[in-house]
Amino acid sequence: MTPTAEPGEGPGDGTGLRADAERNRDRVLAAARRLYATEGLRVSMAAVAREAGVGKATLARRFATREDLITAVFADRMDAYAAAVRTSLADPDPWRGFTGYVEAVCAMQAADRGFADVLTMTFPAAKALEAARAEAYDGFVTLIARAQAAGRLRADFVPEDLVLLLMANAGVVAATADAAPDAWRRLVGHLIRSYAAPDAPLAPLPESPTPTALYRATILLGRPHT
């Protein structure tokens, strides 16, 4: 008995079927990127299917699990995450390398709410994502050691502090993205100051969001999700 095909994946000579399947896969990935970027990873698989204009069965054939979809959507961003630590390790100034990496990763979070979630979660079955995460973590440990040896980073800073920073930044990004999209920069500036040793050079603090922007952010934060 021949399985019922989704629209756009009907029978043919095989070549057309593969092309239709690839187009549906691209539509699903594009839809997931849009939704994850604006709403975070709380988006359901059903919502992704609706946004892509495909049936749930088509989505399930392309991506059997939520982790499969997340891996496909964020593979390039996780590669960029790992590349950022390599760039920072190449900086001859240990403190600048450390702060540059912190700022780069927080900027990645701010640019994509879904990626902000990915950086504060683990996906044990997503081997590619976790390999990039492990590379970035190992590189960051080296950045810490270099900055501390140079006397620029506080001796009590530990790698787990980056996890706390990313969680805090993800929360600020989610709360202020629509009303004060640069608010995260102020948070990161304050946190870098808290990590610095007494003689570390510090850049000026980014400007604070206006009271009006923060008030609007609190109003939006209090609205129920639809």
Confidence of residue 4 (pLDDT cuts 50, 70, 90): very low
pLDDT at 1: 39
How far from 225 is each of 110, 141, 166, 221, 222, CA to CA, in Å? Answer: 20, 38, 23, 9, 9
In the chain, ranges of CATH 1.10.357 domains: 74-221
Those residues with Cβ within 8 angstroms of residue 29's Cβ, 6 or more apart along the chain or in another chain: 72, 73
pLDDT in tens, 143-192: 999 999 999 999 999 999 998 998 999 889 888 988 899 999 999 999 99
How far from 40 is each of 50, 103, 112, 135, CA to CA, in Å? Answer: 16, 20, 8, 24
Cα 35 versus chain centre, distance: 13
In the chain, ranges of CATH 1.10.10 domains: 15-64
pLDDT in tens, 114-154: 888 888 788 877 788 888 888 999 999 999 999 999 999 99
Q: In this structure, what token pair is assigned to residue 69? A: 């979809």
How far from 194 is each of 74, 79, 93, CA to CA, in Å? Answer: 31, 29, 19
The answer to whether residue 201 scores a pLDDT higher than 90 is yes
User: Which amino acid is present at 6?
Assistant: E
Overall size of the chain counted in residues: 226
pLDDT at 172: 92
Q: What is the CATH number of domain 74-221?
A: 1.10.357
Measured between alpha carbons, how far is 63 from 66 in angstroms, rounded to an integer? 7
Cα 3 versus chain centre, distance: 38
CATH 2.30.30 fits 15-64, yes or no: no
pLDDT in tens, 80-108: 989 999 999 999 999 999 999 999 999 99
**Mean pLDDT, residues 219-223:** 76
